[in-house]
Amino acid sequence: MATATASVEATTARPIALAKPEGQWTIVLRRFRRHRLAIISLMFIIVVFIASLITPLIAPFPRDAVNPVMRFSPPMTTDTETGKLHVLGTDHVGRDTFTRLLYAARITLSVAIIVATLSTFIGMAVGALAGYYRGVIDGILMRILEFMSAIPTFPILLILASVLNQDPKLLPFPDFLVNFVSAIMLIDPQKESRSVLVVIFVITLFGWTGAARLMRGMVLSVRERDFIESARSLGANNLRIITRHVVPNAFPPLIVAYTLALADGLTAEVALSFLGLGITDPTPTWGNMLNFSTQFMLTHPWAPLIPGIPVVLCSLAFNFIGDGLRDALDPRLKM
Q: Regarding predicted confidence, which is higher, 91 or 165?
A: 91
Q: Is the link from the previous residue into 307 a cis peptide, with omega within 30 of 0?
A: no
pLDDT at residue 161 tops 60: yes
**Range in 55-64, 178-187, 222-231 the model is least confident about:** 222-231
Contact partners, residue 109, CB within 8 Å, separation at least 6: 48, 49, 52, 266, 314
| Cα distance between residue 97 and residue 303, in whole Å | 9
| Cα distance between residue 282 and residue 157, in whole Å | 22
pLDDT at 312: 94
pTM: 0.86
pLDDT at residue 19 tops 60: no
Helix axes 97-133, 135-150, angle to 10 degrees: 150
- The ranges assigned to domains in the chain are 89-329
For 72: left if phi > 0, alpha if psi spans -120 to 50, otherwise beta; the answer is: left
Q: Contact at 8 Å (CB) between 274 and 308?
A: no
Q: Contact at 8 Å (CB) between 231 and 243?
A: no
pLDDT at 107: 93
Cα radius of gyration rounded to whole Å, the chain: 26
pLDDT at 98: 93
**Range in 139-153, 205-219, 221-235, 314-328 the model is least confident about:** 221-235
pLDDT at residue 154 tops 90: no
Nearest-CA neighbor of 246 among 216, 217, 219? 219
How deeply is 263 buried, as exposed, middle or buried, from its count of CB atoms within 10 A (0-12, 13-18, 19+)?
buried
- Residues linked to residue 96 through DSSP beta bridges, in sequence order: 90
Span 97-111, mean pLDDT? 93
Nearest-CA neighbor of 103 among 14, 219, 177, 187? 187
pLDDT at residue 165 tops 80: no
What does DSSP say about strands 77-78 and 85-86: parallel, antiparallel, or unpaired? antiparallel
Q: Contact at 8 Å (CB) between 197 and 173?
A: yes
Q: Which CATH superfamily is domain 89-329 in?
A: MetI-like (1.10.3720.10)
pLDDT at 334: 53
> Cα angle at 67 between 63 and 69, to 5 degrees?
155
pLDDT at residue 17 tops 70: no
Span 265-287, mean pLDDT? 88
Predicted confidence band of residue 310 (pLDDT cuts 50, 70, 90) = very high
pLDDT at 152: 78
| Cα distance between residue 169 and residue 195, in whole Å | 9
Taken in order 125, 127, 132, 134, the sign of the CA dihedral is positive
DSSP 202-252: HHHHTTSHHHHHHHHHHHHHHTTSHHHHHHHHTT--HHHHIIIIIHHHTHH
pLDDT at 156: 80
Predicted confidence band of residue 1 (pLDDT cuts 50, 70, 90) = very low
Mean pLDDT for all residues in the chain: 84
